[in-house]
Amino acid sequence: MEIQTIRKNNFKKTFPLLLMIVILAFGCSSPKEKSDYEKLLEYEGNYEYEYVDKTTLDIVASELDTTLYAIVDNAKYPLKHIALDSFTNIQDVPVVFERDKTNRVKGYRTDGLEFKLITSEIEKTEMFPRKELFHNPDSYVYHKPKKTEDGLETGSLEDEFKNPEPIIDMVKETIKGKFPDVHSILIYKNNKLVLEEYFYGYDENIPHQLRSATKPFIGGILGIAIDQGFIKSEKDKLLPYFNSTYSEIANLDDRKKEITIENFLMYRHGMDCENDNPKSKGNEQAMMASKDWVKYTLDLPMVKESGKSSSYCTGCALTLGSLVEMATSKNIEDFAKENLFNPLGVSNYDWTFEPNQASMTTFSQMYLTPRDLIKLAKLFKDGGKWKDKQIISESWINKTFDMDEGDYGYLWEHKYFVIDGQKYNSYLASGNGGQKINIWPELDMITVFTGGNYNSYALYGKSTPPNEMIPNYILKTGEKPADNNVYKK
C-alpha cells in the first residue's frame, strides 16, 4: 500500500525515526581530521525505536552519498546534516543523539522521548548498487538468467529483442547510481526470463516487500474464492457479508447499501476515500490511525453513488481481504497458500494479513521474490493457468483486465506509455518504493522492478525510477505492439 511514512501530524504515533536529528561529533580526538563519512560512522548501530510496539531500527552511514540513513524493514530514510552534531529529515523536526562521558554515542532523544543505542555491531546494509562495478560500470557483462527448478524457462536478450542495447545501458546506468535504490530488474519475454539483475545486496532468494503491489493479488485470491463458491458473485452487495462482524455501520444510507463487491474491486466505492487527498476522511493516514481499518473503511460517509467513478482507496483491498476470510472461514494467508501459492510452487514468501494497528510497520503486505512475481504475473497473463492447471478461472482474469483506459480493473491498473506516437499498454501492480509488476500483453512481456524509493515523491518531488526506466530503455528496443495501437489524442 502507498504508505506515506513521513507525516506532518501525530508524530509520536507514527514514524519517529523520520523526525530525528542525529548528533555528529566533531570533537573526538584523532591524529588526523576525519572525513565526513568517518564522522557519520560514529552513529551507526541498532537503536531502540518506538512505533506501535517497541522494536528497533538501524542507523547506517553511506559512503556512496555521504548520508546517514535510518533503516526499518530494509527501508532507508535519509537524515540530512544541518549543523554541528545535528541532522534533520525533510520536516525539520529535531532529534538529538546523546553521548556518554567518553564521548561515545549512547542514544538519541526526540520530542521528549529517549531511545538507547543497543549495539554498534550491526549487519550493515549495502549502500552501493554494485560496489565492485560502481567505478567501472562498462565492465558489466550480461549473462542469461540461470534456469532453476521454479518452472520458469530462461533465454537471452539477444534472441528475444531486436535491439537489446537499451536494456544493457539501463543496467549500467543503474550500477552507476543513476537510478538509486532499484533492487531488482527482471524481464520475461516470449515465455522466457531474459533479464535478472539485482542490486544493493539483494538476490533471487530474498523476498521483497510489495507494499500496494499486494493488492492485485488479493483480487486474484478473491476470484478463487468466488470460483469455488464461497462467494456467489462479485455483483453481490458488500455490506451483508459483514453483518455478523459489525453490528452497526456508520453513515449508512441508501447509496452505501448499494455498494457491491465489484465496486470495491474497481475502486468505484462512492465513499469519501482518496489515498492521496489529505482532506479525504478515508485517506490512508486517517485509516491507519484507527484501530480497525476495515470497520473504519465501511463507516466512511458516501460522497457519490457507487459504480460511477474510481478513487484509489487502500481500505477497499483490505476489506476484500477480510471478505475472503469471512466467506471461507480461513485466514486469507492459509487460503492463498492452499489455492494460489502451493499450486504455483511459491514457498519462499512471507505474509501476515492483519488490517489493524498491529500492521503499522508491515501494512499487511506480501513479501515475495522477484522470480515469483514473474510467475504470479504470468498466471494472470495466461488466463489464470499455470503448467496446464487452471488456478484462477479465465472468466475472472478477463473481467480483471476489462478496464477503461488509465483506470482500474479488479485491483489492477491500466498503465500505458506513448512513445513516438505509439501506445504501449500494460496492466500494472504498483507499490510504494518502486515495486512495479507490468504485464504487456501486446509485447508478450512481463517486467518486474523492486526498489527502496519509499515516499519518493514526498521526499524528492519525483516519481520512482521505473517510471523513467521503462519508457526510456525497455520500450526503446524496437519492439512494437499491434498496429492499431497508434495513439490518438
Task: Determine the Cα angle at 323 with ends 317 and 324, to 5°.
Answer: 95
Residue 130 has pLDDT above 50, yes or no: yes
Residue 374 has pLDDT above 70, yes or no: yes
Amino acid identity at 339: N
What pLDDT, in 10s, does the model give residues 163-208? 999 999 999 999 999 999 999 999 999 999 999 999 999 999 999 9
> What pLDDT shows up at residue 481?
87
**Mean pLDDT across the stretch 73-83?**
85
Are the C-beta atoms of 47 and 56 separated by less than 8 Å?
A: yes
Tell me the backbone φ, ψ of residue 369, rounded to 5 degrees: -75, 150
DSSP 486: B
For cell 482474469, the residue is 397
Could you tell me where in the chain the CATH 2.40.128 domains are found? 11-119
Give the distance from CA 115 to its chain's centroid: 29
Predicted confidence band at 35 (pLDDT cuts at 50, 70, 90)?
Answer: very high
CA distance 313 to 71: 27
Phi first, then psi: give them for residue 98, nearest 5 degrees. Answer: -105, 155
Give span(s): CATH 3.40.710.10, the chain.
Answer: 212-342
CATH code that applies to domain 11-119: 2.40.128
Q: What is the mean pLDDT of the chain?
A: 90
Residue 452 has pLDDT above 50, yes or no: yes
Res. 483 pLDDT band, cuts 50 70 90: low
> 3 falls in which pLDDT band (50, 70, 90)?
very low
* Strand order through the sheet with 67-72: 86-88, 75-83, 67-72, 54-62, 45-50, 113-119, 105-110, 95-99
Most confident of 74-88, 298-312, 475-489: 298-312
- Among 14-23, 85-94, 128-137, 355-364, name the one with the lowest average pLDDT: 14-23
Q: Record the cell numbers describing residue 107, joined without a space.
A: 542514544
Query: Would the pLDDT of 300 be above 70?
Result: yes
Say what the pLDDT of residue 461 is. 60
**pTM of this prediction?**
0.91
Q: Residue 25: which pLDDT band, with cuts at 50, 70 and 90?
A: very low
- Angle at the Cα of 208 from the Cα atoms of 204 and 211, rounded to 5 degrees: 155
DSSP element (H, E) containing 62: strand 54-62
> Would you state the pLDDT for residue 95?
77
User: Which residues, 6+ apart, have CB-to-CB distance to 365 below 8 Å?
Assistant: 1, 209, 210, 211, 212, 214, 351, 431
Q: What is the CATH number of domain 137-206+369-485?
A: 3.40.710
Q: Which of 29-43, 329-343, 365-379 has the lowest mean pLDDT?
A: 29-43
Q: Residue 79 CA to chain centroid, in angstroms?
A: 22
Burial status of residue 142 (CB atoms within 10 A of its CB: 0-12, 13-18, 19 or more): middle
Phi/psi at 290 (nearest 5 deg)?
-85, 165
Q: In terms of pLDDT, which residue wins out, 90 or 273?
A: 273
pLDDT at position 53, please?
A: 60
Does the pLDDT value for residue 253 go beyond 60?
A: yes
Quick one: average pLDDT of 436-445? Answer: 98
pLDDT value for 13: 40
CATH superfamily membership of 212-342: DD-peptidase/beta-lactamase superfamily (3.40.710.10)
Angle between the N-to-C axes of helices 314-328 and 215-227, in degrees from 0 to 180, rounded to the nearest 10: 30
Residues in the chain: 489
